[in-house]
Amino acid sequence: SSLPRLASSVKVLPIMSFDEIDLTGQWNPIRDPWETDYAALVPRFSGGFSAICSFLIICVILSSSVRLSTTYHRILMGMSISDVIGSTAIALTSLPMPTKMPFEEEFSYSWAGTRLGNTQSCNVQGFSFNLGFTSAVSYNAMLCIYYACAIAFRMNERIIHKRVEPILHFIAIAAGLVFAVLPLFYELYNPSNSTYAWCGMVTYPSECYLWGDVPCIRGNAEMLTRFIDIYMLFI
């Protein structure tokens, strides 16, 4: 007896064709996180705090009794300087971005924060971010190698200073410069609408890298793919 009652309560919806369905506004119910104010505010606090902390480490090293006379302090100094450079670039977020990008209305692009820069300032920000971040990560790895030499292999500090330390500094600085300079030749430092809240290593528009059927205005999609593969392998 319950089945007829249940069947009578079921409402049959009319079949609608695609021409009768209104899809207006269905694709924009939620704003992209990179278009909100948080995308510009959060990196300013996190990047600024990181830069300040690294600067304090530099002050502690320079005010200590041994200063830069030890390998440990010199590696830590290089890592702190690198982090100040990279974190400062992050803290600036959208400020160095160009005030106007080509066809940004046609691509429906929107960036959070105030844009006061141009192509050159965007290149400087992207360069500083890549240089600082890559060198800081490299110096962190070099610090681990130093610990291995000093603790695991019980190498003398003087031998580490003469034979190992120059190589460690060279690798960290060279890696940062390589990954920071090469993207300049391929115009790969651009505002990102989905990856960074600052000028980073990305094509413009990003669709020319993601889909391939959209022409690139700035940047080389093939070179970007190679850079990302090598960079991830290095990290």
Which range has the worst mean pLDDT, 81-90, 193-202, 226-235? 226-235
- The burial of 25, by beta-carbon neighbours within 10 Å (0-12 exposed, 13-18 middle, 19 or more buried), is given as exposed
Whether pLDDT at 220 is above 90: no
Place 138 in a pLDDT band, splitting at 50, 70 and 90: very high
Residue positions counted in the chain: 235
* Whole-number pLDDT of residue 57: 97
Please determine, for residue 183, whether its predicted confidence score (pLDDT) is greater than 80: yes
Return the DSSP state at 20: G
Cα dihedral 179→146→167→230 (10° resolution): -30
Structure-token pair, residue 86: 């990279």
Sign, Cα dihedral of 193, 194, 197, 203: negative
- Sign of the CA dihedral 130, 134, 137, 139? negative
- Range from 15-19, 110-114, 163-167 carrying the lowest mean pLDDT: 15-19
Whether the CB-CB separation of 146 and 172 falls below 8 Å is answered with no
